[in-house]
Amino acid sequence: MTLHIVHNHHAPDTTSHGDTWRDHAVCAKPDITRPNAMFPDNDAVDLELARGICASCPVKAMCLLDALETEQGRGTGNRHGVRAGRTPKQRHSLYMRSLRERIPFEDLVDEVLFRDPLREAFERRTESLEGGHVRWTIRKTAVHVQGQRYTPWQLAFHLSRGRRAAGTIRTTCGQERCVAPDHIVDAAERGNGRRAAA
């Protein structure tokens, strides 16, 4: 009996466990995406191209869920690339929102990927800060969503209450520029609070 030793310089794949969601990701197909397409380096055109790849992906919900679960509390500097059409900053904001509002990741993913345009407009223009505060990140003091004009506070109020604000909106947290939905009240809520205290 002769024993033949074959030298193979390739390690066996011990990480594959059959068909996974990653196998179906559009960004994983080399004929569709170029290398580093999902890492746009703050270039607006490249960012939109990456988001376009994600838009047609059949597993974007699993991708976002995986990002939230694996990135956890990492800051925006430790999150990389576009996942499910979301930038590192947007994913960090989603993670902080899940903690603040105690929303399970699965529910948050469903809401984010199948949500209304108001929430999209708010999340693209805000970032979560310590203490539950939320900061408006663009210079514009108003945005238009589906033909309606909203200030940052009106947008936050409408998202959390499901209605437009009555009168002036004020912060309750002592941070004048905070747009956290649970840190603001409108004139009607202030009036109700005064009546309840009397």
For residues 74, 79, 84 and 90, what is the CA-based torsion angle, rounded to 10 degrees? 70
The predicted structure's pLDDT at residue 8 = 40
**pLDDT attached to residue 118:** 87
What's the pTM?
0.50
Distance CA 75, CA 127 (A): 11
Give SS3 for 192: helix
Domain segments of the chain as ranges: 22-115, 130-198
Q: What 8-state DSSP symbol labels residue 5? A: P
| Structure-token pair, residue 112 | 């984010």
Token pair, residue 53, equals 């790849």
Q: What is the CA radius of gyration of the chain?
A: 22
Q: Is the dihedral of CA 25, 38, 55, 129 positive or negative?
A: positive
Distance CA 100, CA 198 (A): 31
- 179 contacts 153 by C-beta, under 8 angstroms: yes
Question: What would the two tokens of residue 73 be?
Answer: 């509390």
Low-confidence ranges of the chain (pLDDT < 50): 3-14, 195, 197-198
Nearest to residue 60, comparing CAs of 71, 52, 49? 52
Work out the burial of residue 132: count CB atoms within 10 Å of its CB; fewer than 13 is exposed, 13-18 middle, 19 or more buried. Answer: middle
